[in-house]
Amino acid sequence: MKSSRSGIAVVGLVLAMVTGCAAGAFNNEETPGQRFNRSMKEFSENCAKVKLKPNDTACDILKLKPADPLTTEEGRFAHSIKIPNPVPADSGYKPGMTPDQYFDHLCKTEAGEFIYKTVENVDGLYMMRPRKRATDDELQHLYFLEDPYGHTTDESYLVQDTYVQPATGRYQFLEMPFSKAASEDERYRRYYRDENAHPRRKYQTAINGQGVFVPYVVAESTVSNIKSRYGYTWRGINRPHDRELGIVGGELIVLDVKTNEILAIRRGYMRTGFVRNNFTGVWWMTGPSCPNRGDKSTFKFVQEVLKPLSSEVKEKKDVN
């Protein structure tokens, strides 16, 4: 898996051969969608001419298809949720709008954090739709990822540390569907605190802005049922003109798992399509976003809504 996060994907010398000069040409009059489609067509033609070794992945991006969230139970549920402030079917796009103009319009009229209710003393939560960490090919594909805005490292990698491990993690446990369940007794994975789980293992974190090492206390098990009362899921926003202009939106929905009451929504947009040193022009790890993805991590928004059960004394006990 090509999963570097240091910049645009580098997939070997063969990529330079099959990409060719034409695919890298940048035309300011093209929309991101037009550039992506042209580049992929040229890339496909060049791949067909080059004899690749059996394990060469240089042309694997051609195998990627647009995301279909309705292929999984978690995706179908996320898209079935009725929220208090749904996006209108008419996004407000007007013919002739530039990507900048359309993006600014969506940011002003639809993006934001909408908190309807907060809950105190939440001991744990259910991550209803875990994200998979994206490869570099996926991050430079205009259509593959359903929700690039929400597809950040903190939500697709070691989430148990983000939500459970002190000092960042403030919940006692985190639950999620277990995709590799072998039986009904293993339908879910639960991460929880256990001070004896990893003797002598340390974890690097920050307390009061200072880097420190603390005991690593996250253990895990598989269970048949969840005990979380609250959780969250996510879904992409798919309307005409968005992807063509290099724009994508997503919603994170915090809810009561038992009643499906909506507690909060974070709706965000981002845009790409003008990356000059990438043959597709797309790189979802960077680009303008609203709300700015760098201002607040997902787990911090979740904690604002589902306030963790943790006194000052308890936190000190866990991290010392």
Distance CA 192, CA 63 (A): 38
What number is the average pLDDT over the span 48-64?
A: 89
Whether residue 13 is predicted with pLDDT greater than 70 in this model: the reply is: no
Domain ranges of the chain: 13-171+227-319
Whether residue 175 is predicted with pLDDT greater than 60 in this model: the reply is: yes
Neighbours of 162 (CB within 10 A): 20
Distance CA 130, CA 196 (A): 27
What number is the average pLDDT over the span 26-48?
A: 90
Task: Report which of 177, 195, 198 is spatially closest to residue 187, judged by C-alpha positions.
Answer: 177
Distance CA 252, CA 120 (A): 20
Query: pLDDT category, 209, cuts 50, 70, 90?
Result: confident
Instruction: Please provide the DSSP assignment of 6-31 as one string.
Output: SSS----HHHHHHHHHHHH---TTS-
What angle in degrees, to the nearest 10, is found between the helix axes of 13-24 and 32-49? 130
Cβ within 8 Å of residue 288, ≥6 positions away: 103, 270, 271
* Alpha-carbon separation of residue 208 from 165, 168, 211, 214, 316 (angstroms): 16, 11, 9, 14, 12
N- to C-terminal Cα separation, the chain: 37
Please name every residue paired with 188 in a beta bridge, in sequence order, or none if there are none: 177, 223
CA 210 to chain centre: 28
Residue 92 Ramachandran class (φ > 0 left, ψ -120 to 50 alpha, else beta): left
Distance CA 104, CA 100 (A): 6
Beta-sheet pairing, 173-177 with 124-127: parallel
Whether residue 11 is predicted with pLDDT greater than 50 in this model: the reply is: no
Query: pLDDT category, 186, cuts 50, 70, 90?
Result: confident
Please indicate whether residue 103 or residue 54 has the higher confidence score (pLDDT): 103
* Alpha-carbon separation of residue 278 from 8, 31, 46 (angstroms): 7, 15, 16
What number is the average pLDDT over the span 55-65?
A: 92
Distance CA 196, CA 290 (A): 42
* pLDDT single digits (tens) 245-279: 999 999 999 999 999 999 999 999 999 999 988 89
Q: Is 276 helix (H, G, I), strand (E, B) or coil?
A: coil
Q: Identify the residue whose tokens are 């959780």.
A: 231
Query: pLDDT category, 26, cuts 50, 70, 90?
Result: low
Contact 153, 5 (CB under 8 A): yes
Q: For residue 292, with 0-12 CB atoms within 10 Å meaning exposed, 13-18 middle and 19 or more buried, which class applies?
A: exposed
